Structure 1
Amino acid sequence: MTTSTPTPRYTVAVIGGTGPQGKGLGYRFARHGHDIVLGSRAAEKAETVATEVSERLAGLAGAGTARGAANTDAIAAADVVLLAVPYDGHDELVASLASALAGKTVISCVNPLAFDKRGAHGRVINGGEGSAAESAAEIAPEATVVGAFHNVAAPALWGEDDFLDEDVIVVGDSLEGKQVAIDLAASVTGRPGIDGGKLRLARVLEPFTAVLISINRKYKTHSGIRVTGV
């Protein structure tokens, strides 16, 4: 079932937009009416991927636009910024963009994961008292940082289904910031995101992705999360 409540049309800068998660989420946002600017350190790389996304959008009624740009230019052109970068180098990248992120709503879907012979597992951030989303909020204090889209599988995002049969859980300390991510979630699942509480709960959502990776390997699928009773 799709949501019938109109949502604002956003321009979203996707930092890490050339990677599978960023490209997939950007495609979903644009497929359902938002405009996206895929960001990369190299504008040419971002433009190439944006062309690929635009080709997927061709002929879809009501679709938004996709273009590529260097990271700072992408942020300047956007209302909302999605951080979809690997955790390695995350803090340094956010620090380099902190002034550009000031005043923006920033959605982090970064998952600090590690892999060993036993499989995927979550990294321990700040002695268990932190997360990638909280690190971004500390490094870029003038931005409004929320966490969302941690548990959505990249292959499913790039698939042909109109919407994914799962929920997006959103965490943050700003109701206004969370509402932006809740709105954008409807582009992915066909229904608003679920308010999951304060930003510190990103400490639960980020490593939980390792559980889904283990499920996917066991059952050869792209699993997601459904929230019942709301």
Structure 2
Amino acid sequence: MTTHRIAVIGGTGPQGKGLGYRFARAGHDVVLGSRTRDRGEAAAAEVRDRMASGGTVTGADNVSACEGADVVVLAIPYDGHDELVASLPLDGTVVVSCVNPLAFDKAGPHGRVVDGGEGSAAESAQRLAPGAHVVGAFHHVSAVSLWGERDLLDDEDVLVCGDSAEAKQVVMDLAAAVTGRTGVDAGRLRLARQLEPLTAVLISINKTYKTHSGIRVAGLGT
């Protein structure tokens, strides 16, 4: 297995901390980034306390977390997304965007319109960091499940979209840390326009059925 140094930006949030935990358990070296080093290190200590073995887990501020990383995960809210991404040193890295631009009103959750319907958070990240290889993935994995007790979320699939075949393969391989199998190649980066708002549907299902739902693709023979 190829191991990576993975920076998780937004690593103190539920999704970022959960992904960091899963990656570290699988043997990758993880840095949890936050606005301040102290907050990142506090989250890293929580992850280390749950691990019996695996890779290293440390904390840092967001910019420092990216330094030396070959994979950077964006697990951040959409509000303030562009300003934060533009501030990060991302050239030459595989950037995994699991950002979901969502809004909530009296009728429930729904996807926000990005760039007049012709963009997504992942595409915005690629525009802001043209020297990076942006891949959209991990949008539909519940933060509660990531931090849960199950060894693998083997009833779910991780859908992966991107324009670089090599970068997609890196992320599809990383998906095994979560589900136990390679992620699903879901096409080009522009399909993040469909994958990101689909999370609103899962939130609605979760509310109705009191669960933590995910995605499984039928017909792949796996």
Secondary structure in 2 matching 1:161:
coil
* Equivalent residue number for residue 28 of structure 1: 22
State which of 45, 51, 60 in structure 2 corresponds to 1:69. 60
Structure 2 residue matching 1:64: 3-state secondary structure: coil
Q: Aligned with 2:152: secondary structure? A: coil
Q: Would you say 1:225 and 2:202 are equivalent positions?
A: no
Q: Any conservation in 1 of the 2:23–2:174 contact (CA below 8 Å)?
A: yes
The match for 2:117 among 124, 128, 145 is 128
Q: For 1:200 and 1:88, locate their aligned partners in 2 and report how far apart those are by CA, in whole Å.
A: 20
User: Residue 173 of structure 2: SS of its match in structure 1?
Assistant: helix
| Number of corresponding residues | 219
Large movers: runs of 4+ above 2 Å = none
Matched-pair identity in %: 68
User: What amino acid is the match of 2:76?
Assistant: V
Deviations 1:181-202 (A, max 9, x none): 1011000000000000000000
Distance in structure 1 (CA, Å) of the matches to 2:9 and 2:166: 21
Q: Select which of 3, 7, 32 maps to 1:38.
A: 32
String of CA shifts for 1:75-105, please: whole Å, max 9, x gaps: 11311000000000000101111xx101111
Name structure 2 gaps, 5 residues minimum.
none
Q: 1:19 offset after TM fit, Å?
A: 0.4
Counterpart mapping for 1:133-148 below 5 A: 133-148=122-137
Secondary structure of the 2:27 match is coil
The one-letter code sitting in structure 2 at the alignment partner of 1:130 is: G
Cα RMSD for the two superposed structures: 0.7
Name the CA distance, whole Å, in 1 between partners of 2:139 and 2:179: 14
Structure 2 length as normaliser, TM-score? 0.97
Query: Are residues 1:93 and 2:87 paired?
Result: no
Q: Does the 8 A contact of 2:108 with 2:204 survive in 1?
A: yes
C-alpha contact 2:63 2:87 (8 A) present in aligned 1: no
Unpaired stretches in structure 1, ≥5 consecutive residues: 1-6
SS in 2 for 1:101: coil
- How far apart, in 2, do the equivalents of 1:93 and 1:47 lie? 20
Structure 2 residue aligned with 1:178: 168
Q: TM-score, normalised by structure 1?
A: 0.94
User: How far does residue 12 in structure 1 lie from its aligned partner after superposition?
Assistant: 0.5
> How far off is 1:45 after superposition?
0.4
